[in-house]
């Protein structure tokens, strides 16, 4: 039976842990609010960009000039670029491991093809850097503050590789922020671009030849997709951490309660034993 002091020490240690998880939860909550704001603020642009792209693409549909745009080029998918966007930090439940699992599955689903990984976020990097996979590059230390500049840098790299025909297609793998309680692992093909379909286009005057315009518009559209993934990841990470830390705090409470109960029982047992000793000692003297 452990001594009273040992149990007290355990309780104290669990309490310390609980304080940390509580603080982390609060930090995550505050950051989550800011991150969701950024996601929401970025949505109108992405939506309008998609719609404008549709209009311009509809105007050039079937034109020869459009077929020559490099970012639309469909090639047999032999060299696939997978961009894995994980968080830089752990302690966010299954946030990172779900993504890593999905990435491994993606690789397994494409046997015989060359899958090259671009790793964004320290957790994904740490996992794959020691494994026999083809890594094309890594970006770490940005998941907390990822914004336009980081997205632009990554987009330019991806576009360059695709245009130079080093890769035949580019996929993003990231956690989509569905709600505070759920994140969804999302695989999105960003290159070659498939122009969103939908409403028929109206008669527009085009100041520039639409085919040229489309060619210059597409990189910006890719940027929007990458930025969206970055922002979603940030929000989802904070949400996942908040949920995980909330659960951890509750668990710590349970453990403390259990230990306190046990401690009292041990204390009572020792008191009872002492009384018995005193009583039996006294009766032995009679």
Partner 1 sequence: MAETLRLEVSTPERLLLEEQVTQVEVPGLNGAMGILPHHARLVSELGDGPLAYTPENGHKQKMSICGGYVEVGPDLVRVLAVRAEKADEIDVKRAEEALKRANDRLLNPTADLDVARALNAMHRAQARLAAAGRQ
Residues that bind partner 1 in the complex, under the rule CB under 8 A: 38, 41-42, 44-46, 48-49, 52, 55-56, 147-148, 151, 202-208, 210, 213, 216-217, 220, 223-224, 227
Q: Which is nearer to partner 1, 109 or 203 (CB)?
A: 203
At closest approach, how far in Å is the CB of 176 from partner 1?
Answer: 18
What is d(CA 155, CA 3) in angstroms, rounded to the nearest whole number?
A: 61
Between residues 19 and 208, which has the closer beta carbon with respect to partner 1?
A: 208
CA angle 178, 52, 61 (to 5 degrees): 115
Instruction: Report the residue number, 7 or 231, with the smaller CB distance to partner 1.
Output: 231
Nearer to partner 1, 32 or 226 (CB): 226
**Residue 34: Cβ-neighbour burial (10 angstroms; 0-12, 13-18, 19+):** exposed
Q: Least distance in Å: CB of 142 to partner 1? A: 15
* Pick from 70, 155, 165: nearest CA to 118: 155
Cβ nearer to partner 1, comparing 44 with 111: 44
* Pair 221, 193: CB distance under 8 Å: yes
Smallest gap from Cβ 206 to partner 1, in A, equals: 6
In contact, 117 and 128? CB cutoff 8 Å: yes
Q: Shortest Cβ distance from residue 149 to partner 1 (Å)? A: 11
CB atoms within 10 A of CB 58: 17
Of 4, 30, 148, 162, nearest in space to 83 by CA: 162
Distance CA 172, CA 223 (A): 12
Give the shortest CB-169-to-partner 1 separation in angstroms.
Answer: 23
Nearer to partner 1, 17 or 55 (CB): 55
Other residues' Cβ atoms within 10 Å of the Cβ of residue 51: 14
DSSP string, 61-89: TT-HHHHT-GGG-----SEEEEEEE--S-
Measured from the CB atom, is 58 or 135 closer to partner 1? 58
Q: In the complex, what is the shortest distance from the CB of residue 201 to partner 1, in angstroms, rounded to a whole number?
A: 10
In angstroms, what is the minimal distance from the CB of 156 to partner 1? 13
């Amino acid at each position: 039976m452990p001594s009273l002091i040992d149990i007290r020490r355990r309780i104290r240690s669990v309490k310390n842990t609980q304080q940390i998880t509580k603080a982390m939860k609060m930090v995550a909550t505050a950051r989550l609010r800011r991150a969701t704001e950024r996601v929401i603020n970025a949505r109108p642009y992405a939506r309008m960009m998609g719609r404008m792209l549709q209009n311009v693409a509809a105007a050039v549909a079937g034109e020869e000039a459009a077929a020559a745009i490099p970012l639309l080029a469909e090639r047999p998918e032999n060299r696939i670029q997978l961009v894995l966007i994980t968080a830089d930090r752990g302690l966010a439940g299954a946030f990172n491991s779900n993504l890593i699992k999905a990435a491994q599955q993606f690789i397994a689903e494409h046997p015989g093809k060359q899958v090259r990984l671009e790793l964004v976020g320290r957790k994904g990097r740490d996992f794959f850097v020691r494994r026999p996979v083809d890594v094309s590059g890594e970006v770490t230390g940005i998941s907390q503050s990822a914004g336009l500049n980081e997205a632009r840098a990554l987009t330019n790299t991806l576009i360059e590789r695709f245009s130079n025909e080093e890769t035949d297609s580019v996929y993003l793998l990231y956690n989509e922020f569905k709600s505070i309680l759920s994140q969804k692992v999302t695989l999105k093909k960003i290159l070659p671009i498939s122009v969103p379909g939908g409403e028929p286009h109206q008669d527009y005057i085009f100041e520039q030849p639409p085919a040229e315009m489309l060619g210059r518009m597409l990189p910006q559209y890719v940027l929007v997709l990458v930025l969206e993934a970055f922002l979603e990841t940030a929000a989802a990470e904070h949400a996942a951490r908040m949920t995980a830390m909330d659960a951890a705090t509750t668990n710590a409470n349970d453990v403390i309660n259990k230990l306190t109960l046990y401690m009292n029982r041990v204390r009572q047992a020792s008191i009872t034993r002492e009384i018995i000793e005193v009583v039996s000692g006294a009766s032995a003297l009679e």
